[in-house]
Amino acid sequence: MNREAWEQLRSWNRTPDTAALLTDIDGVLAPIVPTPDMSEVSGEVRELLRRLSGNYRVVAGISGRAAMDALRLVGVEEILYYGNHGFEVLRDGQVEIVSEAAPYKEKVEELERLAREELAPLGAFIEEKGITASIHYRNVSPEVGERCKEFVTREGERLGLRVTSGRGVVEARPPIRADKGTATRKVVEEYRPQKALFIGDDLTDLDAFRELERLSEEGVLSETLRIGVKSEEGPPEITSEADLVVEGTEGVEEVLRMLASRD
């Protein structure tokens, strides 16, 4: 499996203008570190991304981080960033909210305002992420945590938002599908490459893998490559659904180097 995929990858550098390079950021371009703000992309990877952006149809980082935060971490202005679960895109220094989500921006702000009034005084932390709002209650009593969940669920529903809960956090977002799969489709529809690859290491990246498959079945893309980055914490599907499996950020660097080579 791997040798064939490497050969395919090697052939892409002959016609870079027909190919889109899409990649997750954390765990792929930047090694996973204990806290997200200590994360860093190496100078070598930065340089490779700059070179690739000059030759390929499009290079895009697709991340769960806010798009601005993704840019700060990667430090390369020449590429496109889809952030915040695919809800926003950063291009030429401007953050745009994807059109389907834009009408919900005011509703999300309204929810944040209510949460600041009602929940922040109880110790909850309101993270304003633009088009999504996260209310964190990890550091408060279980009763206050329950109160946060109830409040955000009730008010979120009233405002027509989708509410989801995680560990110590309840989130409200527009009720439309936005993930790394929808971001992948948007990039392909806008830039119209013939080939596209996605490099990922985690569960949310599987949406992008599956979207590439659909785009290929629909005949929109003639070639696709799903590149899985193997790690101890990563889900097994990242390697089982991949066409090519690499080890850690060093493996990713090798992929980028091959794409950039002029043999």
Catalytic residue set: 24
Residue 163 Cβ vs Mg ion, minimum distance, rounded to whole Å: 24
What element of type H or E holds 126? strand 125-128
CA-CA-CA-CA dihedral for 16, 187, 197, 195, to nearest 10: -50
Which residues, in sequence order, are CB contacts of 115 under 8 Å at separation 6+?
A: 124, 126, 133, 135, 151, 152, 155
Nearest distance in Å: CB 104, Mg ion: 26
Length of the chain: 263
H helical segments located in the chain: 2-12, 43-55, 67-74, 105-118, 142-158, 180-191, 206-217, 237-240, 248-260
- Does position 26 bind Mg ion by CB under 5 A? yes
Which tokens sit at 107?
Answer: 């509703």
Is residue 69 part of the contact set for Mg ion (CB under 5 A)?
no
Site string for Mg ion, 32-61 (x = CB under 5 A): ------------------------------
Strands 223-230 and 94-97: unpaired
* Total Cβ atoms within 10 A of residue 261: 9
Count of residues touching Mg ion (by CB under 5 A): 5
Binding mask 118-147 for Mg ion (x = CB under 5 A): ------------------------------
* 24 binds Mg ion per the rule CB under 5 A: yes
Minimum CB separation from Mg ion for residue 119, in Å? 30
User: 191-210 mask for Mg ion (x: CB under 5 A)?
Assistant: ----------xx--------
User: Residues 16, 27, 145, 181: which binds Mg ion (CB under 5 A)?
Assistant: 27
Shortest CB 194 distance to Mg ion, Å: 26
- Contacts with Mg ion, residue ranges (CB under 5 A): 24, 26-27, 201-202
